[in-house]
Amino acid sequence: MPSKVPDGQRRGWIIPIGGSENKENDRRILERFVSVSGGEDADIVVIPAASRMHETGSRYEQVFRDIGAERVTVMDFDTRRDCHETGRLERLDQASGIFFTGGNQLRLTTLLGGTPVAKLIRHRNAHGVTVGGTSAGASILSEHMIAAGDEGSSLIAGTVRLAPGLGLTNRIIIDQHFRQRDRLGRLLTALAYNPFAVGVGLDEDTAVFISPEEILEVEGSGGVTIVDGSDVSHSSIDKVGDGQPVCMLGLRLHILIAGATFNLNTHLAAAPGLQQSKE
């Protein structure tokens, strides 16, 4: 379960990005990340631990500085022991925004899972700090994380592997590079196991900004596929073997673009500039 928000306080923004967000001529996603992290006063910690490429952290450091964040620090982790180190914890405790780069989400969870760093990030988000990430860094934000899976648009048993994520929210299951890597099938399969969650499929250069009120708003140039399992009447995934098609009835599907919203409390979707509507 996500950390409890203290009385009188607001949860921080949660910002999963679908990967390959524009860092050059139209940086609206990263600009808005800085904006909801304090704007000119933003103090951002970039965690590039998912990536094995040396330049990943410094690239984001430069972009966030260019956008106008007051302070940016790249904080890497090579071992789980690093996640107990006091200096890093103190620096994280100062941040107004925490950003996970892309890479391999299992590298992030195996390094950070259950450590003081993971606990602190959950705690800080519950106290108003913005936490976001792109690609693998988006996947890990939720309680139930897609660790791996097959490409394809169909619901086939055994095509997805779930693992525990960082757990900032347990209402959604996130997938990224969604259109580009054809991942609807594995997202549907994840929901077939337990339809309680809302599936959020993020195209590249596309993000959802989840507000403290748990209203998700799309930003960026692509689409976001919302698969709402809350009215599912039947899933046969308990009865079929791996590789077999699965029967699932009663999903609700919304295709959102920039400015469209989905309310995680009421499950109402709304077009840009329009009233929220369940149907």
Active site residues: 135, 177, 204
Work out how close the CB of 163 gets to a second copy at its nearest, in angstroms, rounded to a whole number.
24
End-to-end CA distance of the chain: 29
| Interaction residues for a second copy, span 138-177 (CB under 8 A) | 152-155
Q: What is the spatial distance between Cα 48 and Cα 133, in angstroms, rounded to a whole number?
A: 10
Work out how close the CB of 22 gets to a second copy at its nearest, in angstroms, rounded to a whole number.
15
Q: Does 179 bind a second copy (CB under 8 A)?
A: yes
Work out how close the CB of 21 gets to a second copy at its nearest, in angstroms, rounded to a whole number.
15
Q: Does 188 bind a second copy (CB under 8 A)?
A: yes
Residue closer to a second copy (CB basis): 123 or 179: 179
Q: Return the residue of 6, 68, 114, 272 that touches a second copy, per CB under 8 A.
A: 272
Contact 228, 201 (CB under 8 A): no
Residue closer to a second copy (CB basis): 89 or 258: 258
Q: Positive or negative CA dihedral for 8, 170, 231, 185? A: positive
Residue closer to a second copy (CB basis): 53 or 249: 249
- Side by side, the strands of the sheet bearing 224-228 are 172-175, 198-202, 224-228
Q: How many CB atoms lie within 10 A of CB 93?
A: 12
Query: Could you tell me the two tokens for 259?
Result: 């400015």
Query: Could you tell me the two tokens for 236?
Result: 């046969």
Q: Judged by CB under 8 A, how many residues of this single chain contact a second copy?
A: 44
Q: Does 270 bind a second copy (CB under 8 A)?
A: yes
Query: Could you tell me the two tokens for 208?
Result: 């959802």
For 178, half-sphere exposure in the C-beta direction (CA atoms, 13 angstrom radius) is 31
Q: Does 26 bind a second copy (CB under 8 A)?
A: no
Work out how close the CB of 258 gets to a second copy at its nearest, in angstroms, rounded to a whole number.
9
Residue with the two structure tokens 């990430």: 133
Q: Which residues sit at the interface with a second copy, rule CB under 8 A? A: 152-155, 178-179, 182-185, 188, 203, 221-223, 225, 227, 231-234, 236, 245-257, 260, 269-272, 274, 277-279
